[in-house]
Amino acid sequence: MTGGWFRVYAFGYLIFLYAPIVLLPMFAFNDATIIAFPLTGFTTRWFSAMFDNPPLHLAVKNSLMVAVTSSVIATCLGVFAARASTRYNFPLKGGLMGLIMLPLVLPEIIVAVSLLVVLLGIGVNLSLLTVILGHVLICTPFAIAILSSAFQGLDRSLEEAAYDLGETAFSTFRLIILPLVMPGVISSLLIAFTISLDEFIIAFFLAGTETTLPIYIFSQFRFPKAVPVIMALGTILVCLSITLLTIAEIFRRRGIAKAGGKDSGGFL
Amino acid sequence: MSAEKPTMIEFRRVQKYYGDYHALRGINASIRAGEFFSLLGPSGCGKTTLLRTIAGFEGISDGAVLVDGKDMAGVPANQRPTNMVFQSYAIFPHLTVAENVGFGLRRARLPKDELARQVGTALEMVGLSGYGARAAHALSGGQRQRVALARALILKPKVLLLDEPLSALDKKLREQMQVELIKLQRQVGITFVLVTHDQEEALVMSDRIAVMFEGEIDQLADPETLYRHPTSRRVANFIGTMNFMPATVLAENGSGIEVEAQGFGRVTLDAAQAAGTPSPDGASIGFRPETLTILFDNQAAVDRESVATIEEVVYYGDMTYYDARLDGMQSPVRISMRNVFGRPVLDIGARARVAWSPGALVLFR
Amino acid sequence: MKNRTRWGHFRNSEAASGLLLLSPTAIYAILMLAAPLATITLYSVFKDDYLTIIREFTFDNYIEAWTNVQIRTVMIRSLGVSLSVTAVTVLLAFPVAYFVSFHVPPARKSMWLFLITIPFWTSYLIRVFLWKVILGYNGVVNSGLLGLGVIDEPLTFILYNVNAVVITLAHAYAPFAILPIFVSLEKIDRSLLEAGLDLGESKFRTFLRVTLPLAMPGVVASVLIVFIPTVGDYVTPHLVGGPEGRMVANLIQLQYLKLDNYPLGSALAVSAMGVVTIISLLFLYLNRRYLRGPQS
């Protein structure tokens, strides 16, 4: 069991992970309507087809709106919860935090149907707003995970020092705590945004007649002609996700450097 | 010693509970204005808790804490005339040194140049002139400590509280900082209250020390009194090294206390040499290692003399420590001798003459 | 003796501050998660009428869910798929986590983790669809193998059945499985392992006796993180499962959105979650009992 075999295995594993994704740009630029080998030629017409597609544009616009809103709300709720759980002890803490983090392990369909049932029961119309409600629910646990680690990295005596020097709870939060967790806040926004943008099943159940990008993509699956365009769309989405994640990672590392801490690697 | 100064901090029957845990058990003490005061004790004795009740970071369950004559009940930490240097220094990592030092003056809304001037003065006082623009997270431990000091002192508090400020530094730096802290305190003239578990540190720096165990103050006195006249075995053991030998009190009257001590025979002690607190382990005689002297060649004893067998010799550079068993003793005691002229030659098993004086003994009963 | 003086409230205010601070998020979770989950549990014991729900208590839905052969098949299949996916994923993930924790210099570790997690953050729909494309009759695998001359006819057993579902889900949840194991391995004090070697044990035995038990909390977390959500996955069985590969989520969707039978759908959902919970608790119990690893 030397490092050598492990390395081979690990690289093999990475290839397995990335293999499907690598196909995206391959076939997005491929001049054929069927996704199969051999490759037939280079073309960008699948990309141009996306520009002339009003339903796609609408779906994109909706998704962006939902994602931005959900990430902001989820991050705010995450800040409250992360701060409360890392700083204070109070009765019911375990139970409440468990409930809040539950969506991490619940299958999304359960979340989707239960929300559906309640919303319809109250008489609320399904729309992008109801989608936002669902997305906030599943994004908040991720926000909390990221923000908790940011808050935990804070030396408690920093707060006490600020108090000792005359500041109030609010000004301490504004001047000391917030700047030091800001990288975590930004990471949280980016992660929540990415999750919401890609989320399908809750949107599927709760959007009513509206569409989001994943719903649009799903609806195109039954049309074989649409497949290459989906490849092109997928390529762009993957690039977008990778970009957002790289930015989130840069901020995370910068945050650690700013606070003079050590890198423990990874978000969670 | 200077004349009695006014009281700056007063503890009146201070009690503190954490749930069922009795952390502070009836603390009564006064700290004088302008003195360098230490709270000394092992981990868990409550010294940091007590310090934090002055600062306002801990509440108390009963009693009162007064600063400069005013009861601090209900006064939050950010409004007290005290400032604290934290054990981790708590330097704000995202600010520069100057921004850190000037942080407490933010609310005073001083004009920029006045603020800069004050920050400069504070940095100079702690020996960090010119460091203003440095990023706080790039400093060494010693530098951070100075920034913490400057940050606290710039606000001209009445009391400076220090929570184990030197524990994170290595030995050389610590010794250097001890001297600097003493000088700083004299220069600034305000009351310093230091918490430490290092008895050497407390002895070096303090005007007076409160030795705490398990939530209580066992003895509050100046370093010399604590060292030479400890009032309990606990205090005697904690401060420096103390040898103990079983003893029996034979008689007690106006002219003194007659004691039969193992290895010393019969001695007469002053009432002042008796420790105040009764000891549960029975009576014993305590004496410091340096109060016994090994006589070499034809040196004569100044007072009393005994013979001992050397059981162990430990060389320490400037000192040599001997484990010597005086005739009559069932276990050896530690004797420390300064190495003035190179290493004295004594083999294990050798017999040596030991000089001692009854005046240096402390009776614990 | 409790806090008596005016400073006594100081301690109570910490609990109050904490609760107050948590309240927005907690209230949101109670309204949007706890209440709805309670509601569907309630619905599962109501009767279904043509277009409405009769609020009468009944166990019919559960009886239906557990006796109907088709439903039962799907339920058992879902469990089987989840368990296979979990086993495959966790077993394959462990060596990778081990590699990154023990054979990668600390400076490069976050880069590896980053690379491993990127696929997870790209669109799940697209990834599942890609597998459909890869495993299809005219898809990448078949055209590739045909072109290379390895096979004469396209393979049909790789798509629209349970195999495809397992492959796709294993791929999707791989990063999920690696991270908790990695975290656990990182926490192991390296000097424990050195001590083991120093005392004469072989590397393999040290692994079995020291590393593995200490990594168990991570493995347990990994198992649960993969098992619980995969039972309820909808997209993968829908796209690559075909009629043989349908899982419980597809049934639930059917009942809710197509057949408008909320009570039965709810009963299915509650049953599925119930079984998952029982299996998870059983797993945790067995783990605690027989491995006696450190409690995480």
In this predicted model, what pLDDT tens digit does every residue of A138-165 receive, in sequence order? 999 999 998 998 898 888 899 999 999 9
The CA distance from B76 to the nearest CA of chain C, in Å, is: 10
Query: C130 to chain A: which residues are within 8 Å by CB?
Result: 20-21, 23-24, 234
Using the predicted structure, report yes or no on whether residue C8 has a pLDDT greater than 80. no
Query: C3 to chain B: which residues are within 8 Å by CB?
Result: 17, 59, 61
- Asked, for residue C30, whether it belongs to a domain, the answer is no
Distance CA(C157)–CA(C155), nearest Å, equals 6
Q: Which of C1, C4, C7 sits opposite B73 (nearest CB)?
A: C7
Q: What is the pLDDT of residues A7-19, one digit of tens each?
A: 888 888 888 888 8
Query: C7 to chain B: which residues are within 8 Å by CB?
Result: 59-61, 73-74
DSSP H helix total and E strand total for chain A: 12, 0
The residue-averaged pLDDT of A180-190 equals 89
| Lowest mean pLDDT, pick from B64-73, B168-177, C200-209, C245-254 | C200-209
Distance CA(B267)–CA(B259), nearest Å, equals 5
The residue-averaged pLDDT of B284-296 equals 91
- Asked, for residue A22, whether it belongs to a domain, the answer is no
Put simply, the answer to whether B17 touches C7 (Cβ < 8 Å) is: no
Put simply, the answer to whether C98 touches A17 (Cβ < 8 Å) is: no
- Asked, for residue A6, whether it belongs to a domain, the answer is no
Band of the pLDDT at C6, cuts 50, 70, 90?
very low
- Asked, for residue A16, whether it belongs to a domain, the answer is no
Pick B28 or B347 by higher pLDDT.
B28
Q: What is the pLDDT of residues B84-118, one digit of tens each?
A: 999 999 999 999 999 999 999 998 899 999 999 99
Structure token pair of residue C206? 């040290």
| Lowest mean pLDDT, pick from A61-70, B158-167, C18-27, C281-290 | C281-290
The residue-averaged pLDDT of A169-198 equals 90
Put simply, the answer to whether B59 touches C4 (Cβ < 8 Å) is: no
Distance CA(B9)–CA(A267), nearest Å, equals 48
Using the predicted structure, report yes or no on whether residue A109 has a pLDDT greater than 50. yes
User: Mean of the per-residue pLDDT values for chain B?
Assistant: 91
The residue of chain C nearest to residue A268, with distances taken between CA atoms, is C179
Chain B contact partners (≥3 CB pairs within 8 A): A, C
Put simply, the answer to whether A117 touches C110 (Cβ < 8 Å) is: no
Q: What is the pLDDT of residues B32-53, one digit of tens each?
A: 999 999 999 999 999 999 999 9
Query: B137 to chain A: which residues are within 8 Å by CB?
Result: 258-260
Task: Assess contact for B257 and B249: CB atoms under 8 A.
Answer: yes
ipTM for the whole predicted complex goes beyond 0.85: no
Q: Which residues are CB-neighbours of C296 under 8 A, at least 6 positions away?
A: C184, C217, C218, C220, C221
Using the predicted structure, report yes or no on whether residue A264 has a pLDDT greater than 60. no
Q: In angstroms, how far is CA A243 from the centroid of its own chain? A: 13
Per-residue pLDDT at B1? 47
The CA distance from B18 to the nearest CA of chain C, in Å, is: 9
Beta bridge partners of B244: B286
Distance CA(B47)–CA(B195), nearest Å, equals 6
By C-alpha distance, which of C228, C227, C251, C236 is closest to C75? C251
Using the predicted structure, report yes or no on whether residue B218 has a pLDDT greater than 50. yes
Band of the pLDDT at C290, cuts 50, 70, 90?
low
In A130-159, the residues whose Cβ lies within 8 Å of chain B are 155, 157-158
Put simply, the answer to whether B74 touches C6 (Cβ < 8 Å) is: yes
Per-residue pLDDT at C119? 84
Query: B149 to chain A: which residues are within 8 Å by CB?
Result: none
Distance CA(B231)–CA(B237), nearest Å, equals 11
Put simply, the answer to whether A237 touches C43 (Cβ < 8 Å) is: no
Task: Assess contact for C287 and C239: CB atoms under 8 A.
Answer: no
Per-residue pLDDT at C158? 76
The residue-averaged pLDDT of A66-72 equals 96
Beta bridge partners of B245: B285
- Region of A9 on the Ramachandran plot (φ > 0 left; ψ -120 to 50 alpha; else beta): alpha
The residue-averaged pLDDT of B213-241 equals 92
The half-sphere exposure of A50 on its side-chain side, counting CA atoms within 13 A, is 21
Band of the pLDDT at A81, cuts 50, 70, 90?
very high
Phi, psi at B29, each rounded to 5°: -165, 160
Q: Which residues are CB-neighbours of A244 under 8 A, at least 6 positions away?
A: A190, A193, A194, C121
The CA distance from B342 to the nearest CA of chain C, in Å, is: 43
Query: Where would I find the H helices in C30-139?
Result: 35-43, 60-67, 69-102, 106-121, 124-135
Chain C contact partners (≥3 CB pairs within 8 A): A, B
Structure token pair of residue B20? 């069922």
Distance CA(A214)–CA(A132), nearest Å, equals 14
The residue-averaged pLDDT of C28-51 equals 85
| Lowest mean pLDDT, pick from A164-173, B167-176, C59-68 | C59-68
The residue of chain B nearest to residue C11, with distances taken between CA atoms, is B59
User: Mean of the per-residue pLDDT values for chain C?
Assistant: 82
Q: Domain ranges for chain B, please list them.
A: 7-228, 244-365
Task: Assess contact for A223 and A186: CB atoms under 8 A.
Answer: no
Distance CA(A36)–CA(A29), nearest Å, equals 13
The CA distance from B61 to the nearest CA of chain C, in Å, is: 5
Task: Assess contact for A87 and C12: CB atoms under 8 A.
Answer: no
Per-residue pLDDT at A3? 64
Pick A238 or B50 by higher pLDDT.
B50
- Region of B349 on the Ramachandran plot (φ > 0 left; ψ -120 to 50 alpha; else beta): left
Q: Which residues are CB-neighbours of C238 under 8 A, at least 6 positions away?
A: C246, C250
Per-residue pLDDT at B4? 66
The CA distance from A122 to the nearest CA of chain C, in Å, is: 11
Q: What percent of chain B has a predicted confidence (pLDDT) above 90?
A: 68
Q: Which residues are CB-neighbours of C107 under 8 A, at least 6 positions away?
A: none
The half-sphere exposure of C83 on its side-chain side, counting CA atoms within 13 A, is 11
The residue-averaged pLDDT of B164-175 equals 90
- Asked, for residue A119, whether it belongs to a domain, the answer is yes
Using the predicted structure, report yes or no on whether residue C16 has a pLDDT greater than 60. yes
Band of the pLDDT at C50, cuts 50, 70, 90?
low
Using the predicted structure, report yes or no on whether residue C3 has a pLDDT greater than 60. no
Q: What percent of chain C has a predicted confidence (pLDDT) above 90?
A: 11
The CA distance from A176 to the nearest CA of chain B, in Å, is: 7
In A187-226, the residues whose Cβ lies within 8 Å of chain B are none
Q: Which residue has the tokens 């000089």?
A: B355
- Asked, for residue C129, whether it belongs to a domain, the answer is yes
The residue of chain B nearest to residue A180, with distances taken between CA atoms, is B94
Task: Assess contact for B191 and B34: CB atoms under 8 A.
Answer: yes
Range of the domain at A238: 45-258
Per-residue pLDDT at A229? 87
The H or E element spanning position A257 is helix A227-258
| Lowest mean pLDDT, pick from A37-41, B54-58, B205-209, C205-209 | A37-41
The residue of chain A nearest to residue C205, with distances taken between CA atoms, is A1
Put simply, the answer to whether C103 touches A6 (Cβ < 8 Å) is: yes
Per-residue pLDDT at C203? 79
Q: How many CB pairs under 8 A join A and C?
A: 261
The residue-averaged pLDDT of A176-200 equals 90
Using the predicted structure, report yes or no on whether residue A268 has a pLDDT greater than 50. no
The residue of chain A nearest to residue C175, with distances taken between CA atoms, is A17
Per-residue pLDDT at C7? 46
Give long-range contacts, CB 8 A cutoff, 24+ apart: A248-256.
Answer: A248/A186, A248/A187, A248/A190, A248/A191, A249/C110, A249/C114, A251/A183, A251/A186, A251/A187, A251/A190, A252/A183, A252/A184, A252/A187, A253/C110, A254/A183, A255/A150, A255/A180, A255/A181, A255/A182, A255/A183, A255/A184, A255/A187, A256/A153, A256/A183
Structure token pair of residue B7? 């009281």
- Asked, for residue A38, whether it belongs to a domain, the answer is no
Put simply, the answer to whether C1 touches B59 (Cβ < 8 Å) is: no
Query: A258 to chain B: which residues are within 8 Å by CB?
Result: 93-94, 137
The CATH class given to the B7-228 domain equals: alpha beta
The CA distance from B107 to the nearest CA of chain A, in Å, is: 8
Q: What is the pLDDT of residues C211-243, one digit of tens each?
A: 888 888 889 889 988 998 888 888 899 888 888
- Asked, for residue A220, whether it belongs to a domain, the answer is yes
Using the predicted structure, report yes or no on whether residue C296 has a pLDDT greater than 70. no
Put simply, the answer to whether C174 touches A133 (Cβ < 8 Å) is: no
Q: Which of C22, C37, C109 sits opposite A84 (nearest CB)?
A: C22
By C-alpha distance, which of C43, C47, C68 is closest to C58? C47
Per-residue pLDDT at B5? 78
| Structural domain total, chain C | 1
Pick B107 or C197 by higher pLDDT.
B107
Put simply, the answer to whether B90 touches A166 (Cβ < 8 Å) is: no
For domain B244-365, the CATH architecture is Beta Barrel (2.40)
The DSSP secondary-structure symbol of A114 reads: H
In CATH, what number is assigned to the domain containing residue C211? Answer: 1.10.3720.10
Task: Assess contact for B355 and B345: CB atoms under 8 A.
Answer: no
The residue of chain B nearest to residue A255, with distances taken between CA atoms, is B94
| Structural domain total, chain A | 1
Put simply, the answer to whether B93 touches A180 (Cβ < 8 Å) is: yes
Band of the pLDDT at C251, cuts 50, 70, 90?
confident
Per-residue pLDDT at C292? 58
Per-residue pLDDT at A240? 86
Beta bridge partners of A160: none
- Asked, for residue A264, whether it belongs to a domain, the answer is no
Put simply, the answer to whether C5 touches B73 (Cβ < 8 Å) is: yes
- Asked, for residue C125, whether it belongs to a domain, the answer is yes
- Asked, for residue C65, whether it belongs to a domain, the answer is yes
Put simply, the answer to whether A105 touches C29 (Cβ < 8 Å) is: no
By C-alpha distance, which of C251, C244, C242 is closest to C135? C242
**With an 8 Å Cβ cutoff, is A110 touching chain C?**
yes
Pick B26 or A222 by higher pLDDT.
B26
- Asked, for residue A206, whether it belongs to a domain, the answer is yes
Q: Which of A157, A160, A258 sits opposite B93 (nearest CB)?
A: A258
Choosing among A39, A90, A168, which should be mutated to test the C contact, i.e. which has the most C CBs within 10 A?
A90
The CA distance from A61 to the nearest CA of chain C, in Å, is: 17
Range of the domain at C105: 44-291
Q: Looking only at Cα atoms, what is the longest distance across chain C? A: 88
Phi, psi at C61, each rounded to 5°: -60, -40
The residue-averaged pLDDT of C67-92 equals 89
Per-residue pLDDT at C144? 76
Distance CA(B67)–CA(C114), nearest Å, equals 54
Phi, psi at A40, each rounded to 5°: -110, -20
Task: Assess contact for A135 and A199: CB atoms under 8 A.
Answer: yes
Per-residue pLDDT at B163? 95
Put simply, the answer to whether B104 touches A176 (Cβ < 8 Å) is: no
In this prediction the pTM is: 0.80
Put simply, the answer to whether C186 touches A264 (Cβ < 8 Å) is: yes
Phi, psi at B158, each rounded to 5°: -80, -30
User: Mean of the per-residue pLDDT values for chain A?
Assistant: 86
| Lowest mean pLDDT, pick from A88-92, B253-257, C147-151 | C147-151
Band of the pLDDT at A1, cuts 50, 70, 90?
very low
Beta bridge partners of B261: B247, B265
